[in-house]
Amino acid sequence: MNTLLERIQNANKERLAIQTELKSISEYYDLSYEEMYHYYHAMKTKQAEKFIEGWVAHLYGGTKINNKQVPAEYKKNDVGDIQGSPKLVLGENNIELKTSFNHNKASVGGGQFRLYEPVPYYLLFRSWSDTEYEMFLLTKEQLVHEIKQRAIDSGMSAYTQSQGSGDIRNLTNEEKFARLDENVNGTRDDKIGWDFNRDTEPEYYKHFCDNYRVTAEDLRKKFGNEEVAS
């Protein structure tokens, strides 16, 4: 019987061999979710991050944002990852995508929300298993509202510390709310992390699903791509 180290070595060799056989990631955008899930996990980390952006955008007829199409005055900004329709219109159809494949934690949300950037929509893509996923679409205003309202209703911290946001452990929720507003107004540039747990907050999860859960068809209608095949 092979030792654990030998099994790891063999698995790593096979993984590297598979990665050399992969084609351009755009070749796999039309895979079913069940197929995409396994391709995603076979790819190198950076490649997988770019792949999931293209796969999600392909679902509803959008595309990944091409920096060459971003107006010069916004090139230093993070204007999102994907766009709602083939033509990029900043402030109208650019979307920040947050994805999670972590099955050890039943959380919905994301890290490093840059609310100071010119991004009108946030799409949360949550993989629950190799056969189930959910998507939630919120406007920036809706996201800020949910961060505040959940904190008010639950008494829990409004949001968690994220890269570049500084020490927030001693801030009250009211102070965190003020910082949220400052970020939206562009006077701060924090990267805010926020999520909730569907298992420990089932009522809030239901509220979130009722108000923000979307399908590919919903997104096609939202962004005028109804002609795109399912």
Q: Distances from the Cα of 84 to the Cαs of 1, 72, 92, 95, 120, in angstroms?
A: 52, 20, 9, 7, 11
**Model pLDDT, residue 197:** 96
Q: How many CB atoms lie within 10 A of CB 12?
A: 10
Q: Is 226 left (phi over 0), alpha (psi -120 to 50) or beta?
A: alpha
Helix segments in the chain, DSSP class H: 4-21, 33-42, 45-60, 140-154, 173-185, 202-212, 216-222
Q: Which residues are CB-neighbours of 171 under 8 A, at least 6 positions away?
A: 179
**Model pLDDT, residue 230:** 44
**Model pLDDT, residue 163:** 59
Which amino acid makes up residue 171? L
**Model pLDDT, residue 169:** 72
| pLDDT tens, per residue, the chain with 230 residues | 689 999 999 999 999 999 999 999 999 999 999 999 999 999 999 999 999 999 999 999 999 999 888 888 888 888 999 999 888 999 999 999 999 999 999 999 998 999 999 999 999 999 999 999 999 999 999 999 999 999 999 999 999 865 555 667 778 999 999 999 999 999 998 899 999 999 999 999 999 999 999 999 999 999 988 665 44
Q: What is the pTM of this model?
A: 0.92
